[in-house]
């Protein structure tokens, strides 16, 4: 499977060569701790013990908002492929670790175990709302004001506090998901997100990937 993810944080084209890579790029673009990322950022060259020239192109380079955190070079691999190809890939991974040490970057391998989580499902749901910013700042202001007063609530209870009219409540829904997706209203994204989820007022973004 190949294609391109519409990603705001991508440096260049956010192309993918597997469904797992696509899902990983979606996570990177959603994660508040990620500043930017680049797909296939560098090709490493080295000579193996038989003096043959080898090369290895890394999947992704990720930079973080925290300037003190090292950038990470990622390899994205299905677990069954990882173990099946381990003898062939081990020298490449060693070369990647060595290269990372030279340029002050970490090297990390991620599989579907780390990528395909409830967090990803929530990111998929919230991303369209994040990309379509609400047209009415007044809706945002009212939601922030009420959740700040309540401190904790649920989507159901928050909307009920804002209005008893179902139609008017529906107008607040996209803005509510936008605020949750931009981490201006807190929620545990490692749990299923629904109208009964616990939400709370926050003052800064919560970390995820690092």
Q: How many CA atoms lie within 13 A of 121 on its CB side?
A: 9
pTM of the full structure: 0.89
pLDDT in tens, 81-94: 999 999 989 999 99
Q: Say how many domains are in the chain.
A: 2
Cβ(205)–Cβ(181) below 8 Å: no
Q: 103 with 149, same domain? A: no
Q: 23 with 82, same domain? A: yes
Give the contacts of 123 (CB within 8 A, at least 6 positions apart): 26, 27, 30, 189
Would you place residue 210 in the very low, low, confident or very high pLDDT band (cuts 50, 70, 90)? very low
Buried b (16+ CB within 10 A) or exposed e, 106-145: ebbbbbbebbeeebbebbeebbebbeeebeeeebbeebee
Specify the CATH number for the domain of residue 180: 1.10.10
Q: 92 with 49, same domain? A: yes
Give the contacts of 61 (CB within 8 A, at least 6 positions apart): 37, 38, 41, 42, 71, 72, 73, 74, 105
Of 115, 142, 162, which closes a domain?
Answer: 115
Of 115, 146, 176, which closes a domain?
Answer: 115
Residues, the chain = 210
Considering the domain boundaries, does residue 80 fall inside one?
A: yes
Q: 152 with 109, same domain? A: no
- The confidence score (pLDDT) of residue 51 equals 84
Considering the domain boundaries, does residue 148 fall inside one?
A: yes
Q: 27 with 60, same domain? A: yes
Considering the domain boundaries, does residue 125 fall inside one?
A: no
Q: 102 with 49, same domain? A: yes
Q: 107 with 136, same domain? A: no
Q: 102 with 149, same domain? A: no
Considering the domain boundaries, does residue 121 fall inside one?
A: no
Q: 102 with 138, same domain? A: no
Q: 139 with 46, same domain? A: no
Q: What is the mean pLDDT of residues 156-171?
A: 94
pLDDT > 90: what percent of the chain? Answer: 86
pLDDT > 70: what percent of the chain? Answer: 97
Q: Evaluate if residue 8 carries a pLDDT over 80.
A: yes
R_g (Cα) of the chain, nearest Å: 21
Q: What is the mean pLDDT of residues 50-59?
A: 90
Considering the domain boundaries, does residue 154 fall inside one?
A: yes
Domain that holds residue 37: 3-115
């Amino acid at each position: 499977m190949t294609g391109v993810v519409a990603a705001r944080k991508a440096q260049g084209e956010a192309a993918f060569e597997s469904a797992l890579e696509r899902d990983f790029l979606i996570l990177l673009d959603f994660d508040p701790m990620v500043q930017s990322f680049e797909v296939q950022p560098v090709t490493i060259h080295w000579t193996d013990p038989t003096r043959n020239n080898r090369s290895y192109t890394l999947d992704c380079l990720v930079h973080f908002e925290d300037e003190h955190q090292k950038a990470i070079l990622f390899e994205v691999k299905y677990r069954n492929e990882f173990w099946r190809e381990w003898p062939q890939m081990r020298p490449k991974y060693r070369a990647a670790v060595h290269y990372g040490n030279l340029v002050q970057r970490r090297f990390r391998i991620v599989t579907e175990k780390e990528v395909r989580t409830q967090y990803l499902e929530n990111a998929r749901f919230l991303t369209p709302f994040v990309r379509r910013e609400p047209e009415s700042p007044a809706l945002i202001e009212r939601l922030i004001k009420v959740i700040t007063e309540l401190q904790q609530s649920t989507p159901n209870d928050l909307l009920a506090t804002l209005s008893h009219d179902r139609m008017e409540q529906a107008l607040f829904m996209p803005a509510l998901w936008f605020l949750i997706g931009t981490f201006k209203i807190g929620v545990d994204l490692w749990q299923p997100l629904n109208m009964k989820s616990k939400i709370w007022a926050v003052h800064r973004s919560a970390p995820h990937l690092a």
